[in-house]
Amino acid sequence: MPKPTFFGLPDDKRQLIERVALEEFADQGYAGSNTNRIVERCGIAKGSFYQYFDDKKDLLFHLLDKMVAEKMASLQPVLDNYKSHSFSHNIEALFETGIRYAAADPLLWRFGRRFTGGGMMDLLMEFAAKYRPVSTDLFGELLLHAEANGELRDDIDVPSVAALLTAFVNQASITVVERMTNEQTRTVFIRQMLLFLEHGVLKHSGGNDL
Amino acid sequence: MPKPTFFGLPDDKRQLIERVALEEFADQGYAGSNTNRIVERCGIAKGSFYQYFDDKKDLLFHLLDKMVAEKMASLQPVLDNYKSHSFSHNIEALFETGIRYAAADPLLWRFGRRFTGGGMMDLLMEFAAKYRPVSTDLFGELLLHAEANGELRDDIDVPSVAALLTAFVNQASITVVERMTNEQTRTVFIRQMLLFLEHGVLKHSGGNDL
DNA sequence: AGGTCACATGACTTGCAGGTCACAAGGAGG
DNA sequence: CCTCCTTGTGACCTGCAAGTCATGTGACCT
């Protein structure tokens, strides 16, 4: 945790430090990052940095915490309401939430990408334990709800398909955000994704929103 | 490119160096890797290292080249024969090839994972240009063939679905390799994946192998 | 004004990692 | 046995990056 001094900083200065650090970690990764470069680009002294943070890791973990908190907050509306909607509506909502989150703050998105599903095994292990259960079980939860609701084909194995769905939706988001700048290709892509999902997972007589 | 001296080394010594380096890079990433640790674990002198390689990057690129070459070789049978098989057969073949590749050499797999779709933007850019077109277009190619063959639903947008498929199959492989050690859960998972694909992408009257 | 305290500062220390070099060892050919 | 050439060696050099510390500074209280 950053020291009290850091949280006592004027908002603009604190935010500047966070943005600069976010960019540094997003671009260079943890091992490649450089505190000298960070303080220089913030226009603060090296010593000040260590009045705010115990060490480099402390800063990284603070940013990871913030990122997770924001992601959870942006997901909250979907998490709160999924029980009163159909499966495909929920998937679409989840997906669009992810896209909007990325569009709202591309830097935070890049940072998140760097630190999920890639390197960092050593450091991340320390961090991941806190949050792992949340994201892994989300799709399983949606599927169980859909199953109870009679929306699923009878031959669906929930754990397998939950793993597939997680992969599928995550990667689809990445594809849209990073490769499809054109609004129209995005729309087409999203429709294609939903068609793919519905015809693959749902009974063909399956219901719409409840 | 490594220096001639390296290729003149006795096989066991050369392979030892490659294995140790593969592990170092897989575990630590590029920025976190350490040549001192590598030479120590190989039981060779620091100076020798620089008789084999220009620098650390030279070693990394050599390993990346080898990895790509092996991956291409393992994919070759599928690439050679896809025109005489159905779409879902091709996907299954591709998928199982990936799984077998990972099982045959878990260390090489871990190394590959670390350096694809994660960090490394800086260094990888330099490397990726050589190979990018190959993997991105593979699924597009399979889809075009399937389309010409009348296997696809009429409302499929090939570029969109190619992107989805790439993501889907890659992530499905990762899920199987890294999370499913039990043989039976794997079998179930693969069947589920194919059901998912077929009902999502193919006409319901779609054909089997030609 | 004087004192105190929290915060800011940047030269400095320390350790380490990439890369070098002068020398040693060994083998092939005369 | 001497020579030359290729390969091996590890102490050393150099630069850099994390983290420290003695000192400066300004706000606020008395």
User: Which nucleotide C1' is nearest A8 CA?
Assistant: C7
List chain B residues with CB under 8 Å of A196: 161, 164, 200-201
Q: Which nucleotides of strand C lie under 7 Å from a protein CB?
A: 6-12, 16-22
Asked if A201 lies within 8 A of B196 by C-beta distance, the reply is yes
Mean pLDDT along residues B51-79: 92
User: pTM for the whole thing?
Assistant: 0.86
pLDDT in tens, B158-205: 888 887 887 788 778 888 888 788 888 888 888 888 888 877 555 544
Instruction: Over range A69-95, report the average pLDDT.
Output: 87
Q: Could you give the CA distance from residue A153 to residue A157 in angstroms, rounded to a whole number?
A: 10
Q: Is A47's CB less than 7 Å from nucleic acid strand C?
A: yes
Q: Where are the alpha helices (DSSP H) in chain B?
A: 4-8, 11-32, 35-42, 46-52, 56-81, 87-104, 106-114, 121-148, 158-179, 183-201
Q: What integer pLDDT is reported at residue B104 of this predicted model?
A: 92
Give the model confidence (pLDDT) of B68-110 as tens digits.
889 888 888 988 898 899 888 888 888 888 888 888 999 999 9
Mutate to test the interface with A, among B160, B195, B204 (most CBs of A within 10 A): B160
Closest listed residue to residue A123, CA positions, set A64, A182, A174, A197: A64
Beta bridge partners of B152: B202
Residue B71 · residue B112 · CB < 8 Å: yes
Q: How would you write A33-84 as a 3-class SS string?
A: CCHHHHHHHHCCCHHHHHHHCCCHHHHHHHHHHHHHHHHHHHHHHHHHHHHH
